[in-house]
Amino acid sequence: PRLERADVPMTGAPGRVVEEDLRAGDRTFRVTCLSMGNPHCVTYVDDVAAFPVERYGPLLETHAVFPRRANIEFVQVVGRGEVIQRTWERGAGETWACGTGASAVGVAGVLTGRTDRDVTVHLRGGDLRIRWAPEGHVFKTGPAVVVFDGEWPTGR
């Protein structure tokens, strides 16, 4: 993970973005932002299943603080080793699974003191185990599933 604001990228003063207030629409979110090779903004909610992701996802994705937009992770903490995540993916809308997003959630949980370094992330598309090792690497473990099969026409 890259943790500096400029690496996300985000506008504003240099440094890490951990539990920073960000106003979107009629609500202020506490956000933790980082890059996993793509920009992520993690925010915590009490009930992620009932949270209006489709309302606030686009507002946060396109917020002026993100010059290249951002993927937004809405997270409910179940316990120190378990969270539930919904993702608003930049340019795509809500997605059922996001590996870099789950990795960002694992790192953000440690940075905010909400989770341990080893956490199970429940996504609508399945579960991932994320481990942020002390030396800095993030390890992701989970199933690989075929979701589409097809043939490309040739000779045209």
10 Å Cβ neighbour count for 101? Answer: 27
**pLDDT at position 148, please?**
83
pLDDT digits (tens, 9 = 90+) for 92-120: 999 999 999 999 999 999 999 999 999 99
Q: Which positions ≥6 away from 137 have C-beta within 8 Å?
A: none
Q: Indicate whether this model's pTM tops 0.85.
A: yes
Q: Cβ contacts of residue 121 below 8 Å, gap of 6+?
A: 83, 84, 85, 102, 105, 106, 127, 128, 129, 130
Is residue 79 scored above 90 in pLDDT? yes
Amino acid letter, 122:
H
Considering only CA atoms, give the Rg of the chain.
16
CA 24 to chain centre: 17
Phi, psi of 87 (to 5 degrees): -120, 130
Instruction: Determine contact, residues 85/49, Cβ cutoff 8 Å.
Output: no
